[in-house]
Amino acid sequence: MKILITSFLFASIIFLIIDVLWLSYSVKVFYRPQLGTLLLDKPILWAAILFYLIYMFGLMIIIIQPALEKESIFHAFWTGIIFGVVAYGTYNFTNMATVKNWSPYVVFVDTVWGGLLSGSSAALGIFISKNQGICESMKYNTQTQHGIKNLAQKFIHGLCKRHLYFITSPIRVLPDFFIIGVVRSGTTSLYHYLGQHPSIKNAAYDELGYFDDNYHLGENWYRSLFPTKNTKKKIQEKHRKFLTFDDTPFYIYNPIVIKRIKNDFPNSKIIACLRNPIDRAYSNYNLLINPKHTFEETIQLEMNEIENLNLELKDNSYLVDNFYEKILARGFYAKQLQLWYDVFPKENILVISSEELASNTDNVLTEIFDFLNISQVKIKDLTKQNVRKFPSMNPETRKTLIEYFRPYNETLFDLINRDLNWN
């Protein structure tokens, strides 16, 4: 019921905004020249409101609800078009039959408009309602230019391309490796850099979130986001090797994701991009929308909560999201990586640091190319992506966090046989 209501509300808002914009433009340039004095100088407001209420109620019952039951946005789109054509067409042809000088051009334009508007509004309403989770992976960067661009890409692909999977999936490939990152560690920059390698072709966008939020959509949907087999063939002919990848930072801490990737891609290579947990926590905090507490208050509250959650996490994997909603808990990298080492050979996992990626980009990329067994090339555009600057952290707070994370970092360094020099 909740998703039905939210879909209805989103669809109604979209329908109203688009229709008002359309009418504000088209009345002067199209409808009035065609219909002349048949149009009122000003619309009767209560009648217009009543139309929108009745029409959207019909859209909800006849279009949105069945589409939700079928779990198909495409169904909402094409049935919404039919609904709009029938409703607007009935109105227009009735007027053409009974009203003097009702223009056939108005019949055509208005009927087509009604179909497209109805179908698009219903589909968009369902898409936004069902995919509010796409913002989950972006909850810390929605205010950035990249965040907006990324969201737009996901929106377009979610609305248009995912519903073509039944056509395109047989001719598409699946990923060869995964970037599991951590949030705010430079995975977006890495996605940008790797896509410039002649043997690597990016997926439709980063942060696909298939193995956690979108696994229910199935492999065909997942395939629809990757390059075609023909693209792979062409790249292999020219550069011998071809690779594509899934870059989703949230994968790193979810045990269900690990099991799914192991089951579906047992020999995959994994790149884990880590960042000093202190800086990552501070970055996460500063990108929260309207935080209730100061950073110092937030970390103190979390320190008090984490111990109990830590105990529960051992036996209740469903608590993983709740646990790692804590910006401090996200920095317990050893705990997260150990889950991957338990199911994947160590030689299949490459750990890099965000700090090294930023300061010695070429060296890190060389290491990655060796790991992926592809040719060494010079990446031309090393522009850092999704960069934000924040006020300096209180030195005393940093000291507190250095001591707090020290045992977790030492465990991590032992696990990966490498000291990342985090202070």
CA torsion sign, 381 to 180 to 283 to 213?
A: positive
Element (H, E) at 304: helix 295-313
Distances (CA, A) of 74 to 71, 118, 161: 9, 13, 10
List pLDDT tens digits, range 373-388. 999 999 999 998 877 8
- CA-closest candidate to residue 73, choices 164, 167, 205: 164
Residue 372's pLDDT is 97
Question: Under a CB-based contact definition with an 8 Å cutoff, are residues 362 and 312 in contact?
Answer: no
46 lies in some domain: yes
List pLDDT tens digits, range 267-295. 999 999 999 999 999 998 988 867 889 99
List pLDDT tens digits, range 94-150. 999 999 889 999 999 999 999 999 999 999 888 877 654 333 333 333 333 444 455
List pLDDT tens digits, range 186-199. 999 999 999 999 99
List pLDDT tens digits, range 167-189. 778 899 999 999 998 888 999 99
Element (H, E) at 64: none
Q: Which residue has the higher pLDDT, 412 or 36?
A: 412
By 3-state DSSP, what share of the chain in percent is helix, strand and coil, each rounded to 5?
A: 65, 5, 30
- CA-closest candidate to residue 187, choices 218, 122, 141: 141
How confident is the prediction for the chain on average, in pLDDT? 87
Which amino acid does the sequence have at 272?
A: A
Residues 282 and 394 in one domain: yes
Domain at 216, CATH number? 3.40.50.300
140 lies in some domain: no
Residues 247 and 320 in one domain: yes
Number of domains in the chain: 2
Percent of residues, the chain, with pLDDT higher than 70: 87
Residues 174 and 119 in one domain: no
Domain end position, chosen among 130, 159, 180: 130
Range of the domain at 330: 148-416
Q: With a cut of 80, say whether residue 337 has pLDDT above it.
A: yes
**Residues in the chain, overall count:** 423
Question: Under a CB-based contact definition with an 8 Å cutoff, are residues 233 and 176 in contact?
Answer: no
DSSP 383: P
Q: Which residue has the higher pLDDT, 290 or 266?
A: 266
